Structure 1
Amino acid sequence: MNKNFKNLLVLSSILLFASPLSAQIEDKRGLVAKGAELTKVKDGFSFTEGPAINRLGDVYFTDQPNDKIYVWNSNSNQVTLFKESAGRSNGLYFQLDGKLIAAADLNNELWEIDPKSGKETVLVPSFRGKKLNGPNDIWVRPKGGLYFTDPLYPRPYWEGIRGKEMEQDGQHVYYLSADRSELFRVTEDLKQPNGIIGTPDGKFLYVADIGDKKTWKYEIMEDGYLTNKTLFCEMGSDGMTIDDRGNVYLTGKGVTVFDKNGEQIAHIPVPENWTANVTFGALDRKTLFITAMGSVYTLKMKARGVW
């Protein structure tokens, strides 16, 4: 064995040992299953986003630059293509009737997709006669109706003025009523709202203002409006989810978990430059499914997701 090859082996061993895949998970409250390790399910994508779980525990997610939606089968652990020409969808969320809601920002719209046929229906084409900035993430209320964030991230596939300036007067959060008859803003004072998730009882909504590095908690009123805005934590987020203990999971550099009082209780390192989004998958809702750059990952949990 020559000296250079021996040194290469030593260097490879060091790099392998230092890999973020083996980085220690911080878990103060026993959220992660004993002995569980972060597992890469599949790579080769451009940028994964928007994981959403259906009734069977399968997770749909997007590869936005490639304009596709994929599905991870929780039983086989296989990933298959669900839909091409997906409107450059970003965030996804399933309604109780099984329809998939997609933040389709190719034309700055909100879509409803039939999971059997893949056929889409435009739910929100505009607001007050102008294009939205680019619907990003979605949360559906237990009683119906949905919230979505509308930040501005200029896309290379937008042409002309759309790629430089937003038509709306700011970056806001919107509410679409269950009967689709009303669409209105519920926040107008955030810098760049992105991640969004609500509690399973439908009483509270969390909105991550990634532009201000803060996450806010609101009380949800019966008519969909929000009240009692309070600071939840000093961290923004790209995507969000919540577990049955009331803990909130934020993304960015890995996954950071806060309890219902806003105290950080866990951190899950992910070996990518950016962790975009997260949800709980599988029929028992005990598999954390993570979208991060060109890959998707899973982690077995003790905590259970809600849907």
Structure 2
Amino acid sequence: MTEPREVLTGLGVGESPRWHEDRLWFANWGAQEIVALGPGGEPEVIATAPKPVGYSIDWLPDGRLLVTGEENLLVREPDGALKPYADLSGLGAHWNELVVDGRGNVYVNDIGFSFGAEEFRPGSIALVTPGGTVRRVAEDVAFPNGMVVTPDNSTLIVAESFAQKLTAFDIGPDGGLSRRRVWAGVGGDGICLDADGAVWCSDMADGGAVCQRVREGGEILDRIDLDTPCFACMLGGPDGRTLFLMVADWRGLESMGDLFAARTGRVLAVPAPAPKAGRP
């Protein structure tokens, strides 16, 4: 594939990239910012995030921005304030990624333990319905990370980072998840879906620096080897055919503070063979 070009530098760690209203939005971990990147490459800080790391973003059907907080799912109101949208405190304490399907169901995952401070425990996925009901819909997920929903709202795919696989669920009429299965035996952190039904996966396992395009069953269709670990990826651009890569130096948890201070985070971009599909 074409060599990635540099779009933006000087970030802490760029995470949770989303293409929304003709801009690339992302979480700038360490700086505690939610940023939108315009067509000319100019960044705009949209909001101050609720915590330094571990927050993700997506949008409700009415256009309001959702952000994962400590114990609540937060929504950005028209005045810019982040206010509680759903109380998640009874279901977990280590909230990570979120995705909203086309019907307004919100899926939020909890990694299950304090990363770097506790022994591994499996995590879970919670559902917040448009009516405000909150319940757990999947358990025993090995460090749930990026999630995507197919265009027909029928399937949710989640990266189980500690199991090095992508796991799929059927989405029921009530938003519940069933028929759990291995979608591909490929590791992933941040993921996104294209119109050919393939998933792009950033993978940092064992210090790797790669982003791979994989079809259901595990066949690798494309691979981008990078000189810096890739935390997440997202398709976007005017025609949906630009793959954005969020990269930064990674020296382990014990050096995370130094990583944020060093501002090695960058946004890279490369043409993709198929356009964006599904959500986010």
Q: Cα distance, 1:83 vs. partner?
A: 1.7
Which of the numbers 127, 150, 153 marks the counterpart of 2:110?
150
- 1:20-70 per-residue CA deviation (whole Å, 9 max, x = no partner) reads xxxxx3xxxxxxxxxx4311111111111011121x221111112121111
Unaligned runs of 5+ in 2: 204-208, 249-264
Cα separation, 2, equivalents of 1:245 and 1:228: 22
Which of the numbers 32, 44, 55 marks the counterpart of 1:67?
32
Partner of 2:128: 176
Q: Cα distance, 1:220 vs. partner?
A: 0.9
User: Partner amino acid for 2:8?
Assistant: K
Q: Cα distance, 1:164 vs. partner?
A: 4.9
Does the 8 Å contact 1:198/1:204 carry over to 2?
yes
Partner of 1:100: 65
Whichever structure has more strand as a proportion of its residues is: 2
Which of the numbers 232, 236, 248 marks the counterpart of 1:277?
232
User: Partner amino acid for 1:77?
Assistant: G
Does the 8 Å contact 1:57/1:285 carry over to 2?
no
Count how many residue pairs are aligned between Structure 1 and Structure 2: 256
Cα separation, 1, equivalents of 2:144 and 2:49: 26
Partner of 2:84: 122
Which of the numbers 243, 248, 251 marks the counterpart of 2:199?
248
Residue 263 in structure 1 maps to residue 219 in structure 2: yes
Q: Does the residue aligned with 1:285 lie in a helix, a strand or coil?
A: coil
- 1:188-243 per-residue CA deviation (whole Å, 9 max, x = no partner) reads 12222112111011001111111111211111111111111111122232111101
Residue 287 in structure 1 maps to residue 251 in structure 2: no
Q: What percentage of aligned pairs have identical amino acids?
A: 21
Cα separation, 2, equivalents of 1:190 and 1:285: 30
Partner of 2:99: 139
Does the 8 Å contact 2:161/2:187 carry over to 1?
yes
Partner of 2:259: none
Cα–Cα, structure 1 residues 189 and 85, in superposed 2: closer, same or farther, change >3 Å? closer
> Where in structure 2 are the equivalents of 1:83-98 lying within 5 Å?
83-88=47-52, 90-98=55-63
